[in-house]
Amino acid sequence: MIELLSKERCTGCNLCVRICPTNVFEAVDGDIPTLARANACQTCFMCELYCPVDALYVSPYADRSVDVDEAALTRARTLGSYAREMGWQKAKPRGAERDPTYRFRAAERDYDHTSS
């Protein structure tokens, strides 16, 4: 579930408000958004991917809320790690041309089971 919207990093661009499929965020006039409906989070990590300043952290625990420590997440370079690994840059899709998943598809076809 979403656990952190960093007040340090957030610039209030409200892109997360726009793109969250389950409408977790709430825009606030003249301020940064809030996690108004965190319990609606479906742990899809899309907000992290789109956040241009790496201000969001989605914990892997899908069914319960856990405490997080922003300083530790920053030290471990966890903030922004999903976008970095995908190759996205400031909410711009990049990196699909380097996706090696196609190397699996031939092997997968032998099983005829492609539910990934």
In whole angstroms, give the CA distance from residue 84 to residue 89: 8
Residue numbers of the site for another protein (CB under 8 A)? 17-23, 27, 40, 42-46, 49-50, 59-64, 78, 81-82, 85-86, 88, 93, 95-105, 107-108, 111-116
Please state the closest distance from residue 105 (CB atom) to another protein, in A.
Answer: 5
Structure token pair of residue 68: 């997080």
Strands (E), the chain: 2-5, 56-58
Nearer to another protein, 8 or 102 (CB): 102
Please state the closest distance from residue 85 (CB atom) to another protein, in A.
Answer: 4
Chain centroid offset of residue 4 CA: 11
